[in-house]
Amino acid sequence: MTISTTGVPPTPNPAYQTWRRQDRLIYGAFLTTLSLEVASLLKQHLHTASKGTQSITTYMHSLKQTTDLLASLGSPVSFEDMNDHVLCGLNDGYRAVIDVINARDTPILFYDLLEKLFIQELSFFTAQRQVPTPMTALNAQTRPNHYDKTRSGQFSASSTSRPGNRKPFLGRC
């Protein structure tokens, strides 16, 4: 910051420079003290992360936040490692994308990987909505056979065609 008086050009405040330097030293000491413990917890989170039921965007955002925190603590994560962590947490529905990414010679960028996984997720939702319902038809009406031909050639009323003589269904044949 600067000190300014009327009519005199502003000059740097020496107390601010000293305060700024002390602030950075304290911040650095604080980060150094906690960084080892926090970094190990963040790395463990990366190793155990799983997509589960969350959307691909939420899953990838969570991993990106974790790698950004690791980078701010002085332990940056390479593209290859990031891709490995992302792919290990996916289920078998993403197998096609996983195989394509693993077959690449060069590591894919984070946002390109996010795009491919997002497209795969959209195809899941589209396929679920377009599952055709099987067409079934039940024969609800039958032609009753009111008369059976007897041996003598005469027609007589069938005893089984009368509604009062039908046997109830017992659930077995």
> What pLDDT score does 93 carry?
87
Confirm if 109 and 79 have CB atoms less than 8 A apart.
yes
Q: What pLDDT is recorded for position 2? A: 59
Percent helix / strand / coil, the chain, rounded to 5: 55, 10, 35
Dist CA 77 CA 83 (whole Å): 10
30 lies in some domain: no
Contact between 87 and 102 under an 8 Å Cβ cutoff? The reply is yes
The crossing angle, in degrees rounded to 10, of helices 56-72 and 14-48 is: 130
pTM value is 0.55
pLDDT value, residue 59: 92
Range of the domain at 91: 41-129
In a domain, 149, yes or no: no
Identify residue 79 by its one-letter amino acid code.
F
User: Total domain count for the chain?
Assistant: 1
Q: What is the DSSP-derived secondary structure letter of residue 44?
A: H
What are the angstrom distances between the C-alpha of 10 and each of 3, 13, 15, 122? 5, 9, 15, 58
Examine residue 71 and state whether it is found in any structural domain, yes or no: yes
Q: Is residue 33 part of a domain?
A: no
Report the distance separating Cα 140 and Cα 144, nearest Å. Answer: 12
* Residue 173, token pair as written in the block: 């044949």
| pLDDT at residue 58, as a whole number | 92
User: Is 34 a member of any domain?
Assistant: no
Residue 128 confidence (pLDDT)? 73
Place of tokens 């008369």: 147
Map tokens 């909505």 to a residue.
Answer: 129
Structure confidence at residue 164 (pLDDT): 58
* Residue 66 falls inside a structural domain: yes
In a domain, 169, yes or no: no
* 57 in any annotated domain: yes
Alpha helix ranges (H) inside 49-157: 56-72, 79-88, 95-103, 110-129
Tens place of pLDDT per residue across the chain (173 aa): 656 666 677 777 788 888 888 988 888 777 677 667 778 888 898 888 888 899 999 999 999 999 998 888 888 888 888 889 999 999 888 899 899 988 988 888 888 999 999 999 998 888 777 656 666 655 556 566 655 555 555 555 554 555 556 776 666 65
